[in-house]
Structure 1
Amino acid sequence: MTGPDGAPVGVGLVGYGTSGADLHAPLIGAEPRLLLRAVVSGRPERVHRDLPGTPVVPDLDRLLDDPEIELVVVAAPNAVHHELARAALLAGRHVVVDKPFTLTSAQADDLIDVAAREDRRLTVFHQRRWDADYRTVRHCVQAGVLGRLGTYIARYDRFRPTVDARDRSGPGAGVLYDLGPHLIDQALHLFGLPDDVLADVTAQRPGSGADDYVHLVLRYGPLRVVLQAGSLVREPGPRFEVHGDAASLVTRGRDGQVAALLAGRRPGDAGWGAPDDLAFTLSTEVAGLGLTGELSGMPGAYETFYRDTAAAVRGVGTLPVTAEDSRGTIRVIELARRSSEQGRAVPVR
């Protein structure tokens, strides 16, 4: 997955905030078929502290002056994802966009069209498809362990009672665009687009300029997919609850890969991705008797995203997340906001 001369894919990272610094840069650095050549940031001292010797440039135009940069990673604020990704595609670069893909499905459609016209690879960083708990849930669902599903519940619970700069109003602000893409992408990855969306999106904390609570119900015939995120939850509930006519699976705890990256660990290190801080409880019935036991769980695998992206850029294999999939996530976000405003379910198709 290197070029004709054996060189890895040159990468330019746009943005060095939380996502760029804590997720993209270390995961790019851990993939041998990628080479981070430059970073766009207004805080060069932070980049140089973490990545000594990596050039820092002030804007995308300067980044694109380097012909060795083949892949541009957009980890800038949500409101400029479309603008930056479009410019990079038109400049002949492949593109990774951090979640959320765009602010609107019309912007997503535009990027998909530009990528097809320019024959460039376009993908979105939905790394939580490779969380240990989600991978375990998906495996059990697809293997039929739970039988015919009736309810799938996923939560992101946080306790942030004090409003701060993250709660300013503006395009792409709020929990629906922050945590919502993770929850929605995981659900669509399992079940596809729903029949309709019923949502409650609001601000619960005084002074919050953006939504800090979301409750979505995606309806698939008799199956109900419930997605919830809030900022006033001191005692977190189960991360996933999946109930079928053969068994129930409940997971507790949080995938540890982000914490491991912050601690300086990298994919390939001993124990990377191990679900040590997670609990998986399976409840079923055997010969008419109730049975409850613990599953070991699958390991997390964030490294999959950039491994598969590097391969796809070199024309080997498929992208880890398609832009079309991510467009579906943005469409559900749009419909969730409309449903909350109208107080009724909104059909997807």
Structure 2
Amino acid sequence: MTEPIATALLSYGMSGEVFHAPLIAAAHPGFLLHTIVQRKSKHASTRYPHVIIADAVEKVFADPAIELVVVNTPNDTHADFVTRALEAGKHVVVEKPFTVTAAEADQLIALAKSKKKVLTVFQSRRWDGDFMTVKKVWDAKLLGKVVELEVHYDRFRNYVEANTWKEERGKGTGILYNLGSHMLDQVVCIAGMPRQADARIGVQRPNGKIDDYYDIRLQYEGFHAIVKSSYLVREQGPRYSIHGTEGSFMKYGIDPQEQALKEGKIPGAPGWGAEDKLHWGKLNTTLQGVHIEGAIETLPGNYLAFYQNVFEAIRENKPLAVKPEESRDVIRLIEACYESNEKKQAINL
């Protein structure tokens, strides 16, 4: 029997408690949740009594029993902690955004190759059911030649959340690194890297310290993508809109997996990731001369697939679903967006 992969989390904040720990625990027997770093409390032991609670990341790097380290700490620490984990001979999953700069990402990719270790980024929203459905519509060319793709990730949070580094000015903070790293990854997954990026980024909330909205236009050969996000959208519009020479596809709502994880539901249980019919997308197109209009069933989302792939990469030497080079390109794109916003002009890529 294959030995489970002993895994450590460097933090038990929102990403550790809601995403990584439940997914790793549900991926058993492929993984063993071995250690969680909690510096000020040990409340993770309530849910995971068998797990070691460490009070310092150094104890994780020094433990030879740990094979895989999940770096889910503040964004500006990613490069340092991934470096230390790789130097200690560990495989690494790092939370999005991969790094703050593309130069840091390149250094980590080179180090992982030299150490012959798996390095990947938790781009979980590739396994959102709505995105998987959008990609299927795109790949099947149901809309003819696509001319426009618009992607939104909007929220209504008209206040500044207290006591979180995510609301403080600093390297790698702000909505573009937070939500944009997911959205840009999705667009690049579908269409590849754009030729140009033209972005406007800023602060809309009263007393806000970090960027809380962006409006990005990505130019491709023959079509463009619009990527938008704001914390001041109370009435949600479509999350995805695709328009082509034969028709359109519109998708409202958001994948239900995050909410299910927050409610303590078990990933992979019957019905996991299934979306209510009310939120299925609408297709209106012409195929081979036949007009087709109606709802398209949303594919079930499956965040577990990310860790299943990590297991296969480590134990079976299979290709990574999320290659670090792809996440490096997303950071390059984020840097280009900030440069565009500063210069108020499109940036060639």
Q: Distance in 1 between matches of 2:264 and 2:72?
A: 20
Which residue identity lines up with residue 140 of structure 2 in the other structure? A
Deviation string 1:190-226 (CA, Å, 9 cap, x unpaired) is: 1111101000000011211110001111110221111
Q: Distance in 2 between matches of 1:46 and 1:223?
A: 50
Which residue identity lines up with residue 41 of structure 1 in the other structure? Q
Q: Does 1:24 align with 2:20?
A: yes
Q: Does 1:49 align with 2:50?
A: no
Q: Does 1:163 align with 2:164?
A: no
| 3-state SS of 2:298 partner | coil
Q: Is the 1:133–1:278 contact (alpha carbons within 8 Å) kept by the matching residues of 2?
A: no
Deviation string 1:296-333 (CA, Å, 9 cap, x unpaired) is: 12111111000000110113311120000000000000
Shift of 1:65: 2.5
| 3-state SS of 1:259 partner | helix
Q: Distance in 2 between matches of 1:128 and 1:77?
A: 19
Residue of structure 1 equivalent to 2:10? 14
Question: Superposition pairs for residues 86-97 of structure 1, below 5 Å?
Answer: 86-97=83-94
Q: Does 1:66 align with 2:63?
A: yes
Residue of structure 1 equivalent to 2:329? 328
Q: Distance in 1 between matches of 2:253 and 2:315?
A: 37
Residue of structure 1 equivalent to 2:106? 109
Q: Percent identity?
A: 39
Question: Superposition pairs for residues 183-202 of structure 1, below 5 Å?
Answer: 183-202=183-202
Residue of structure 1 equivalent to 2:82? 85
| 3-state SS of 1:216 partner | strand
Question: Superposition pairs for residues 150-299 of structure 1, below 5 Å?
Answer: 150-165=147-162, 166-276=166-276, 278-285=279-286, 291-299=292-300
Shift of 1:150: 0.4
Residue of structure 2 equivalent to 1:308? 309
| 3-state SS of 2:43 partner | helix
Q: Which moved more, 1:8-17 or 1:53-62?
A: 53-62
Shift of 1:287: 8.5
Q: Which moved more, 1:165-174 or 1:289-298?
A: 289-298
Instruction: Give the 3 Å change call, closer, same or farther, for CA 85–208 of structure 1 in structure 2.
Output: same
Shift of 1:164: 2.5
The two structures have a TM-score, normalised by structure 2, of 0.95
Instruction: Give the 3 Å change call, closer, same or farther, for CA 177–286 of structure 1 in structure 2.
Output: closer
Q: Distance in 1 between matches of 2:315 and 2:284?
A: 45
Q: Distance in 2 between matches of 1:94 and 1:178?
A: 24
Shift of 1:288: 7.3
Q: What number of residue pairs does the alignment pair up? A: 344
Q: Distance in 2 between matches of 1:54 and 1:182?
A: 30
Residue of structure 2 equivalent to 1:341? 342
Deviation string 1:231-268 (CA, Å, 9 cap, x unpaired) is: 11000110100111122110011100011112222232
| 3-state SS of 1:179 partner | helix
Q: Distance in 1 between matches of 2:343 and 2:215?
A: 15
Residue of structure 1 equivalent to 2:117? 120
Residue of structure 2 equivalent to 1:139? 136
Q: Is the 2:22–2:267 contact (alpha carbons within 8 Å) kept by the matching residues of 1?
A: no
Q: Is the 1:22–1:261 contact (alpha carbons within 8 Å) kept by the matching residues of 2?
A: yes
Shift of 1:289: 7.9
Q: Distance in 2 between matches of 1:18 and 1:256?
A: 17
The two structures have a TM-score, normalised by structure 1, of 0.95
Gaps of 5+ in 1: none
Q: Which moved more, 1:286-295 or 1:110-119?
A: 286-295
Q: Is the 2:142–2:287 contact (alpha carbons within 8 Å) kept by the matching residues of 1?
A: no
Q: Distance in 1 between matches of 2:100 and 2:327?
A: 11
What is the RMSD of the two structures over their aligned residues, measured on CA atoms?
1.5
Q: Distance in 2 between matches of 1:295 and 1:207?
A: 42
Which residue identity lines up with residue 23 of structure 1 in the other structure? F
Q: Distance in 1 between matches of 2:62 and 2:210?
A: 37
| 3-state SS of 1:182 partner | helix
| 3-state SS of 2:332 partner | helix
Q: Is the 2:61–2:84 contact (alpha carbons within 8 Å) kept by the matching residues of 1?
A: no
Deviation string 1:22-70 (CA, Å, 9 cap, x unpaired) is: 0000001111201110011224332112222311112221012321111
Q: Which moved more, 1:55-64 or 1:87-96?
A: 55-64
Q: Distance in 2 between matches of 1:81 and 1:157?
A: 26
Gaps of 5+ in 2: none
Q: Distance in 1 between matches of 2:58 and 2:137?
A: 46
Q: Distance in 1 between matches of 2:289 and 2:328?
A: 45
Q: Distance in 1 between matches of 2:341 and 2:53?
A: 42
Q: Distance in 1 between matches of 2:268 and 2:202?
A: 41
